[in-house]
Structure 1
Amino acid sequence: MKYQTKSITVRYGETDQMQFVHHSNYLKYFELARIEWLSDLGVSYASMEINGILMPVVSANLNFKAPLFFGDNFQVSVFLKNKPKARLEFDYEIINQKNEIICTGNTVLAFISSDKKKPLRCPDFLLEKFN
């Protein structure tokens, strides 16, 4: 399926007392890559929310292989795993400047209505973007 890669540099505030990137930041890196990829496809979270469609993360999984440190340059690749129905599933891979795998992960987002908070099918305009 479709994928995109985003380059990021670790900021000082993303590190912990051990000088590693704190584990909670990896989900933020995934989100940055995912939102930028959707934006490049012409999909805006803000416009979807205005139109009554929310996409909360309902599942997240991370597997750490090695740490990142302040100043490290790395790439996050985001892959659309399947053609969406009522959920969007993404796989991720973070690779450092030495081309070493740092972290892999997966998120599942559900489509829900903003008013009733009930599940929705993937909107047709999104399916068109993913083809």
Structure 2
Amino acid sequence: MFLTHQTPVRVRYAETDQMGIVYHSNYLIWFEVGRTELLRNAGLAYTTFEEQGLAVAVVDAACRYRRPAHYDDQLVVETCIESFSSRKLTFAYKVFRENTLLAEGKTTHVYVDRTGKSTDARKYPLWKELERIVNENKEIPF
């Protein structure tokens, strides 16, 4: 595992169902928040990708729900880059309430150009920066 970041999230009322439990699709939204903040914190905001004509499209998403989250819970989304190559990125996520694991998941993304066609990220200036940041931030797996 590489580069890890923790993002705080407070459960909003609109994210819960009639029983006051977080609706399942919101975890994928929180995963997006986590990966966006991880990249921004590393100095590679999504806007940097877009300015260079590159995007990262989700091609696979999974979430394992372990315990429910409720309205007004303070959570932490722990995000890391699990693997990366010139063609794709895989992020891993864990959602905690204090020390309790509520959910964990992964998303896999492929690099695409402005036309939406899969591309090799090494063709773009940000590749060297991404490669440097990820390799300098190797961490113990979570």
TM-score (norm 2): 0.85
Query: Is it true that 1:101 corresponds to 2:105 in the alignment?
Result: no
Q: Is the 8 A contact 2:35 2:79 kept in 1?
A: yes
Question: Partners in 1 of 2:58 and 2:14 — Cα distance?
Answer: 24
Question: Partners in 1 of 2:54 and 2:133 — Cα distance?
Answer: 16
In structure 2, do the counterparts of structure 1 residues 54 and 83 end up closer, same or farther at CA, with 3 Å as the change threshold? closer
After TM superposition, the structure 1 stretch with the greater mean CA deviation from structure 2, 100-109 or 47-56, is 47-56
What is the CA distance between 1:40 and its match in structure 2? Answer: 0.7
What is the CA distance between 1:16 and its match in structure 2? Answer: 1.0
Question: Partners in 1 of 2:73 and 2:5 — Cα distance?
Answer: 20
Aligned residues with identical type, % of pairs: 29
Aligned counterpart, 2:93: 92
RMSD value, Cα: 1.4
Q: Is the 8 A contact 1:57 1:110 kept in 2?
A: yes
Question: Partners in 2 of 1:83 and 1:119 — Cα distance?
Answer: 14
Letter in 1 for 2:28: L
Q: Paired residues, what number?
A: 130
In structure 2, do the counterparts of structure 1 residues 47 and 2 end up closer, same or farther at CA, with 3 Å as the change threshold? closer
Q: Is the 8 A contact 1:52 1:115 kept in 2?
A: no
Counterpart secondary structure, 1:56:
strand
Letter in 2 for 1:103: A
* CA deviation profile, 1:86-116 (whole Å, cap 9, x unmatched): 111011001112x111000000011111136
Aligned counterpart, 2:132: 128
Counterpart secondary structure, 2:72:
coil
TM-score (norm 1): 0.92
Letter in 1 for 2:23: H
Q: Structure 2 unaligned runs (5+)?
A: 136-142
Write out aligned runs for 1:49-88 (5 A): 49-88=50-89
